[in-house]
C-alpha cells in the first residue's frame, strides 16, 4: 500500500472539527478514510479515585498520551495495524474497550491540541485549524457535555472558566501558526474546503 496521507485537524473545543472533516470527505467523495480522535489518547487515570479524576485539566498538553499516539501513527504510516485506546468521559479514564484499526490511504487525526506536539506535526502532510468564536463554542460544548457526557451545567461552567478558556488562549489558539489552512466555521467556508479537497486529490493522485 502507498504511504497514507496524514491530515491533522485542530481547533477549540466544539469548534466543529468533525463537521468540517465530514464536509471535506463528502465534497471529495472519499470513503476509505481512517478518522482518529485525539480524545481517545487521554491518559489512563484508572489508578486515581474518581474525585481526583474530576480535577483533570483536559485542555493541557500533559493530559494526552502523545507518545502512544505518535507510535501508533508511525505504525499506520508503515502499513501496520494498531490497537487503539478509547476514552470514557463519564468515568474520566481510559475505557476497557480497545479498537483494532487497520491503516487506510487517508488518515485524519482531529483534536484540540493535535498541532501542539512537534513530533506528531512532523509526520503530517497537511494541517488544518477550524476557527469559531468563543461564545458559540461554549454553547455547543455545554449542550454536548450535558447530553453525551452526563455533566451538570454548574460543572461545565466551572471547567470552562478554570481550564477550557485559559488553556485555549495559552495552548490551542497559538497552534494556528502551524496550520496550512485556517477554516472559519462561523460563515461559509466553501472556498477553503474546495482548496483542501483539491490538494488531497493531488496528493493521492486523483483528478480534481
Domain CATH for 50: 3.40.50.300
Check residue 202 and give its pLDDT: 87
Mean pLDDT throughout 114-140?
95
Neighbouring residues of 108: CB distance < 8 A, sequence distance ≥ 6: 6, 7, 8, 9, 21, 33, 34, 35, 36
Residue 36 inside a domain? The answer is: yes
pTM recorded for the entire structure: 0.90
**Parent domain of 20:** 5-203
Nearest to 187 by CA among 130, 125, 146: 130
Check residue 93 and give its pLDDT: 92
Residue 208 inside a domain? The answer is: no
Q: Which residues of 20-51 are buried (b: 16+ CB within 10 A; e: fewer)?
A: bbebbbeebebeebbbbbbebbbbebeeeeee
Q: Is the pLDDT of residue 90 over 90?
A: no
Q: List beta partners, residue 34.
A: 107
Check residue 11 and give its pLDDT: 95
Calculate what percentage of the chain has a pLDDT beyond 70: 97
| Grid cell in block for residue 127 | 494541517
| Grid cell in block for residue 184 | 472559519
H helices of the chain, where? Answer: 17-28, 50-53, 66-77, 118-123, 134-148, 153-159, 165-167, 190-204
Check residue 208 and give its pLDDT: 57
- Give CA angle at 156 (51, 68), nearest 5°: 65
Check residue 118 and give its pLDDT: 97
Residue 151 inside a domain? The answer is: yes
Residue 171 inside a domain? The answer is: yes
Mean pLDDT throughout 84-92?
92
Residue 38 inside a domain? The answer is: yes
Residue 54 inside a domain? The answer is: yes
Calculate what percentage of the chain has a pLDDT beyond 90: 67
Check residue 150 and give its pLDDT: 81
Phi, psi of 43 (to 5 degrees): -60, 145
Residue 117 inside a domain? The answer is: yes
Total number of domains constituting the chain: 1
SS3 100: strand
Banded pLDDT at 30 (limits 50, 70, 90): confident
Q: Is the pLDDT of residue 1 over 70?
A: no
In whole numbers, what is the pLDDT of the chain averaged over residues?
Answer: 92
Which has the higher per-residue pLDDT, 125 or 188? 125
Amino acid at each position: 500500500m502507498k504511504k497514507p496521507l496524514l491530515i491533522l485537524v485542530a481547533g477549540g473545543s466544539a469548534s466543529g472539527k468533525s463537521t468540517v472533516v465530514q464536509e471535506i470527505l463528502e465534497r471529495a467523495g472519499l470513503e476509505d478514510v481512517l478518522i482518529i480522535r485525539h480524545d481517545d489518547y487521554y491518559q489512563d487515570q484508572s489508578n486515581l479515585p474518581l474525585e481526583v479524576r474530576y480535577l483533570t485539566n483536559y485542555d493541557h498538553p500533559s493530559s494526552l498520551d502523545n507518545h502512544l499516539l505518535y507510535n501508533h501513527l508511525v505504525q499506520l504510516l508503515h502499513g501496520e495495524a494498531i490497537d487503539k485506546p478509547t476514552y470514557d468521559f463519564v468515568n474520566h479514564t481510559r475505557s476497557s474497550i480497545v479498537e483494532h484499526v487497520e491503516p487506510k490511504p487517508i488518515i485524519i487525526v482531529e483534536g484540540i491540541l493535535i498541532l501542539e506536539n512537534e513530533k506528531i506535526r512532523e509526520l503530517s502532510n497537511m494541517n488544518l485549524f477550524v476557527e469559531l468564536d468563543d461564545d458559540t463554542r461554549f454553547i455547543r460544548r455545554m449542550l454536548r457535555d450535558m447530553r453525551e457526557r452526563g455533566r451538570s451545567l454548574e460543572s461545565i461552567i466551572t471547567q470552562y472558566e478554570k481550564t477550557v478558556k485559559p488553556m485555549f488562549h495559552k495552548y490551542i489558539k497559538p497552534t494556528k501558526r502551524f496550520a496550512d489552512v485556517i477554516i472559519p466555521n462561523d460563515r461559509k467556508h466553501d472556498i477553503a474546503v474546495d482548496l483542501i479537497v483539491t490538494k488531497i486529490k493531488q496528493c493521492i493522485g486523483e483528478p480534481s
